[in-house]
Amino acid sequence: MVARARSLPHRRRARKVRAESAKPKTLLFRLRRTDSSSGVSAGTLKKLAAVLDMPETQVIHQALRKLAEDFIPAYEADNGPVSDRMLEALKARVPQGQFKSVASSLF
């Protein structure tokens, strides 16, 4: 029992360390004095929050999410279109006489 009592504080300490390491990063966000093409003022942020009926922090998250969707691809770029030569090589590897195209089987 004595050994168990000594190990309890260690377990509590370990949980606390894990909980602290799981915190998300924070970001200090400085608003502009006036609105410009590269930033917004506190007044604009406040108006957006009121119009969207959400906290100002959530407005910033929504704006960043939209930018991410617009500029970061959702998937890795491939090698471009399949060349005629590569398509012929693929067709040569798969028997072509057994299957019909969907369009030809419908009409």
Residue 102 inside a domain? The answer is no
Residue 28 inside a domain? The answer is no
Q: What is the pLDDT of residues 2-60, one digit of tens each?
A: 555 555 555 555 555 555 668 888 989 899 999 999 999 999 999 999 999 999 999 99
> For the chain, how many structural domains are there in total?
1
Residue 53 inside a domain? The answer is yes
Domain that holds residue 58: 37-73
**Range in 19-23, 52-56, 72-76, 77-81 the model is least confident about:** 19-23
Token look-up 């090589």 returns 89
pLDDT score, position 58? 96
Residue 12 inside a domain? The answer is no
As given in the structure block, the two tokens for residue 93 are 């590897």
CA distance linking residue 21 with residue 14, whole number of Å: 11
Alpha-carbon Rg for the chain, nearest whole angstrom, is 29
| Extended beta strands in the chain, E state | none
Residue 2 inside a domain? The answer is no
0.85 surpassed by pTM: no
Contact call for residues 31 and 45 (beta carbons, < 8 A): yes
As given in the structure block, the two tokens for residue 11 are 């377990």
pLDDT score, position 52? 96
